Amino acid sequence: MNNKTVIKPELSDELHEECGVFGIYDLDRNDVASTIYYGLFALQHRGQESCGIAVSDTYGPKGKVTSYKGMGLANEVFTQENLEKMKGDIGVGHVRYSTAGASTIENAQPLVLNYVKGTLALAHNGNLINAHELRHDLEYTGAIFQTTIDSEVIAYHIARERLKVGTVEEAVRRAAAKMKGAYSLVVMSPRKLIGARDPYGFKPLCIGKRDNAYIITSETCALDTIGAEFVRDVLPGEVVTISQDGRISSDRTNCLPKEKEARCIFEYIYFARPDSRCDGISVYASRIKAGRFLAQDSPVEADLVVGVPESGNPAAQGYAMESGIPYGTAFIKNSYVGRTFIKPKQSSRESSVRIKLNVLKESVAGKRIIMIDDSIVRGTTSGRIVSMLREAGAKEVHVRISSPPFLWPCYFGTDIPAREQLIAYNRTLEDIRQVLGADSLGYLKVERLDELVDGLPICKGCFTGEYPMEPPKEDIRGEYDK
């Protein structure tokens, strides 16, 4: 195992997703480890702290699982040599960014459980708001935990339910019924691959097929990467099972009325790759729309529209299309800087923003610039980027944000910090503009969010404080990090 630790910034000004999941069952009995690796590579944007793969041979010794996990990016953790050692026609993989539970090798996934009925390997995207209670129940009946993540709580509950029922998919369904919060799961049993999505549909999950292999994964871009075709999305509240006969069976016992579903709007604004489709909606098209809406609602005279790479670029294109102001490139991004690099000290002259981004002086000098970004969290990064544009000779800098202001924390797998750390908390638009040093500032209106996704039911809790379910009485995110 790769035991490298990751140095995390104390106060990141970026949003992070919890993770990405990938599962595959090849009915032609081909080894799947390398395919999972490429799937994780496509999902790397969802988590860059740790990753792992677990595989099994459905015709081999029952309960034998080969797994490998490590800290860092997929191409840092895995080599051709260790992938070739992983023999098996069924497997699951995971990339992780921690929103709850420390960034350590113990918390890397997939989790592999050996129990009386065999083995389970589980990969989880999301965050449970009742993990504390579920964990407490298990601990008082003798369970011993190896990690500090809610995913282990899920795995234990599935294993316990499996002792009472005839199939692993029924155990997954019964365990899911106890869980509150966000979860998209991929579970590998000795002879089945199972996917489960919470009733609100917070996190995406879809099914694909390549030849005689079936895939369950977070985003369609992972299917494209491995040459698989999209079959359909896993529906909110659905448990899907892929068995040896190649059938996809479905159970939606835990589903809610469609109007109560609540997909995370940030999948469309920021998290998902722009070439993915989530629940039938093009992520790229959503971001183009956001830019168009900004141009309609917050127009300003300027010479050039630019996006902060990468997620700000489609919205900037949309703004340019709608306004008629030319779209251009103002920033060059260092593609080799992930979220795991060693941050400069506060006293250092090197700025982490400058290490990641540099301004094209020729593009902005003497011009009035409209700078589009997807969000502002604490405001430190946005303020530095505005300063960089001014230092490069921009005459004016007008900031437009393709999401509304963050005013509330998220409990469902996005690491929006406590309210007091949010730049928009207790500040007016003019206050924020002054903090950033911009000539003007405009956010996407909350009312526009539904239009981004063609009316698909979404969660807007981080903007409005109105959550699709009762939030926890106290904020226990990261409780076990101590």
374 is in an annotated binding site: yes
410 is in an annotated binding site: yes
> 321: which residues sit within 8 A by CB, 6+ positions away?
288, 291, 292, 295, 327
Catalytic annotation present for 19:
yes
Owner of token pair 């509304």: 404
> How would you class 183 by CB atoms within 10 Å of its CB: exposed for 0-12, middle for 13-18, buried for 19 or more?
buried
Distance CA 429, CA 433 (A): 6
Q: Catalytic residue among 19, 51, 206, 221, which?
A: 19
264 is in an annotated binding site: yes
Answer for the pair 248, 195: CB distance below 8 angstroms, yes or no: no
Pick from 318, 325, 388: nearest CA to 355 = 388
Phi, psi of 142 (to 5 degrees): 100, 0
b/e sequence 222-248, b meaning 16+ C-beta within 10 Å: bbbbbebeebebbbbbbbbbbbeeeeb
Answer for the pair 302, 251: CB distance below 8 angstroms, yes or no: no
Answer for the pair 330, 360: CB distance below 8 angstroms, yes or no: yes
Distance CA 199, CA 182 (A): 9
311 is in an annotated binding site: yes
Return binding residues: 264, 311, 373-374, 410, 459, 462
Return binding residues for [4Fe-4S] cluster: 264, 410, 459, 462
Return binding residues for Mg(2+): 311, 373-374
Active-site residue set: 19
